[in-house]
Amino acid sequence: MKNGILMFNPGAFSGTFIFGRNRSVGLLTVSDGIRGTIVNL
């Protein structure tokens, strides 16, 4: 959060371009507020 704005970059499902690893996806949960979670695969 920066100045009340959620900045969310979940990364890349396919991994990095060079090595093809570090894959991740993002989950946004919307209820009373918004929360972002990054899940490493």
- In the chain, what are the domain boundaries? 1-41
Through-space distance between the first and last CA atoms of the chain, rounded to whole angstroms: 24
Count the residues in the chain.
Answer: 41
Query: Percent of the chain scored above 90 by pLDDT?
Result: 15
DSSP state of 5: B
- Measured distance CA(25)–CA(23) in Å, rounded: 7
- Give the per-residue pLDDT at 8: 84
Q: pLDDT digits over 1-41, tens only?
A: 789 888 888 877 776 666 656 778 889 999 988 888 888 87
pTM over 0.85: no
Average pLDDT, the chain: 80
- Give the per-residue pLDDT at 29: 93
Nearest by Cα to 36 from 14, 5, 13, 12: 5
- Number of neighbours of residue 2 by Cβ within 10 angstroms: 6
